[in-house]
Amino acid sequence: MRHQLFQTFDDPLSAESLVELLVQEGVPAFYQEKLEIPGLSEGHCVYVAENMVHRARWVVSQSQFEDSELNYLATGRLPGTDGDSSDGDA
On the CB side of 1, how many CA atoms lie within 13 Å of its CA?
12
pLDDT of 41: 66
Domain-located, residue 35:
yes
Domains contained in the chain, number: 1
Per the structure, the complete domain to which residue 23 belongs is given by 3-75
Output the pLDDT for position 61.
Answer: 87
Query: Residue-wise pLDDT tens for the chain (90 aa)?
Result: 899 999 998 888 889 989 999 999 999 999 998 877 776 667 899 999 999 999 999 998 887 767 777 677 777 777 776 554 444 454
Q: Is residue 46 part of a domain?
A: yes
Report if residue 69 sits inside a domain. Answer: yes
- Residue 42: predicted pLDDT: 76
CATH number of the domain encompassing residue 54:
3.30.70.1530
pLDDT of 86 reads: 45
